[in-house]
Amino acid sequence: ETGRWLNNRAENSHLPFRRRERAMLRFRRMRSLQKFASVHASVSNHFNSERSLYSRPNFKKNRAAALAEWRSLCAA
């Protein structure tokens, strides 16, 4: 890779960091950011399953199970 594309790989590797950085700018207080981040992490981990690792029927079954568990947690 030469020329203008040489820096492209480095910039693309920083994209997730930049995305988090932009989200953090919306919070005025560190405390509110920490509250949001802790809740968001648990919810995100609960629902985030790599689509490419599962076949479509298994993905839908796992997603339905996660949603059912989430609904039972919210109802309690």
CB atoms within 10 A of CB 22: 9
First to last CA, the chain: 55
pTM score of the predicted model: 0.48
Per-residue pLDDT of the chain (76 residues; tens, 9 = 90+): 456 666 666 666 666 667 777 777 788 888 888 888 888 877 777 777 777 788 889 888 988 998 898 889 888 6
Distance separating alpha carbons of residues 73 and 38, to the nearest angstrom: 17
Distance separating alpha carbons of residues 56 and 53, to the nearest angstrom: 10
Distance separating alpha carbons of residues 76 and 72, to the nearest angstrom: 6
Q: Is 31 left (phi over 0), alpha (psi -120 to 50) or beta?
A: alpha
